[in-house]
Amino acid sequence: MRILGIDPGLARVGYGVIETAGREQTMLDCGIIRTDSGRPEGERMVEIARDLRQLIRAWKPELAAVEKFFFYRSSNTIAVVQARGVVIMTLSRFGLPIVEFPPMQIKQALTGHGHADKDEVLEAVMRELSLETPPRPDDAADALAVALTGWFQR
Chain positions contacting a copy of itself, by CB under 8 A: 40-43, 45-46, 48-49, 69-73, 75, 78, 81-86, 88-89, 91-93, 98
139 catalytic? Reply is yes
29 known ligand binder: no
19 known ligand binder: no
Tell me, what amino acid is at 87? Answer: V
Give the separation between CA 54 and CA 49, rounded to whole angstroms: 9
119 catalytic? Reply is no
Burial bucket for residue 11 (CB in 10 Å: 0-12, 13-18, 19+):
middle
Q: Reduced to 3 states, what is the DSSP secondary structure of residue 11?
A: coil
7 known ligand binder: yes
When the beta carbons of 100 and 123 are compared against a copy of itself, the nearer one is: 100
When the beta carbons of 18 and 52 are compared against a copy of itself, the nearer one is: 52
Catalytic, out of 7, 19, 51, 142: 7
Catalytic, out of 19, 51, 128, 139: 139
Give 54-101 as a DSSP string.
HHHHHH--SEEEEE------SHHHHHHHHHHHHHHHHHHHTT--EEEE
- In whole angstroms, the minimum distance from the beta carbon of 142 to a copy of itself comes to 19
When the beta carbons of 30 and 45 are compared against a copy of itself, the nearer one is: 45
When the beta carbons of 22 and 40 are compared against a copy of itself, the nearer one is: 40
Give the separation between CA 108 and CA 118, rounded to whole angstroms: 12
7 catalytic? Reply is yes
Phi, psi of 61 (to 5 degrees): -70, 155
Which are the catalytic amino acids? 7, 67, 139
Which residues line the annotated binding site for Mg(2+)? Answer: 7, 67, 139
